[in-house]
Amino acid sequence: MATFEITGVRTEKTIADPHEHIADVKIGTGLLQLPRATVIRDLRTPGGDRYYTYGGGKRADVIVAGCPRCTFRDYITTTPDTTTANNLLSLPRF
């Protein structure tokens, strides 16, 4: 198991309600890009790779959750804390 920092995201809009979901993530310096499905598979696998973000002076772990705005179940987000600077949707876009 390895731990990787997510440093950027590519989003896609949903059809029914035009809000954003993460489609792909950039790891570290951006040489590696992973689709959301790979991140979810890793997080759901015991001993699988883990992911985090860093912003606002705080680290946040990436988790799988249901979307708070629609019925999408394979949604990645960060654990809540005192800053939004480390949220996935606050990261640079690519």
Q: Is there a domain that residue 92 lies in?
A: no
Q: Is there a domain that residue 93 lies in?
A: no
Domain count, the chain: 1
Sign of CA dihedral 57, 61, 66, 67: positive
Q: Is there a domain that residue 94 lies in?
A: no
Which residue segment(s) compose the domain that 44 sits in? 3-87
- C-alpha torsion angle, residues 93, 28, 56, 22 (rounded to 10): 40
**pTM (2 d.p.):** 0.92
Using 50, 70 and 90 to split pLDDT, how confident is the model at 79? very high
- Per-residue model confidence as pLDDT tens digits over 14-48: 777 788 899 999 999 888 999 999 999 999 999 99
pLDDT mean across residues, the chain? 94
Q: Is there a domain that residue 80 lies in?
A: yes
